[in-house]
Amino acid sequence: MKTIEVLGPGCDNCVALERNAREAIALAGVDASVTKVTDGAAIRAYGILSTPGLAIDGKVVSAGRIPSAGDIAVWLGE
């Protein structure tokens, strides 16, 4: 099972990223869970400087933008 983490304080961009991540799970047909990381210290521990961020299985794949569901689905398949 893959773990997707949306890194951000809960802004509109973070909500959009979470929505795209959930859509990507359906597109990719993978077993995955989505969690939100809103704690500033926890977000900084990932080494990103701008939010929203996206991590898959603990690896940051995007920061400071909202990738499409299609992009995320590709990353889930890797």
| 23 is a catalytic site residue | no
| 9 is a catalytic site residue | no
Of 4, 6, 7, 14, which residue is the catalytic one? 14
Of 10, 11, 26, 40, which residue is the catalytic one? 11
Element (H, E) at 2: strand 2-7
The secondary structure of residue 29, as a DSSP letter, is T
CB 42 within 8 A of CB 48: no
3-state helix/strand/coil string of 33-64: EEEEECCHHHHHHCCCCCCCEEEECCEEEEEC
Residues taking part in catalysis: 11, 14
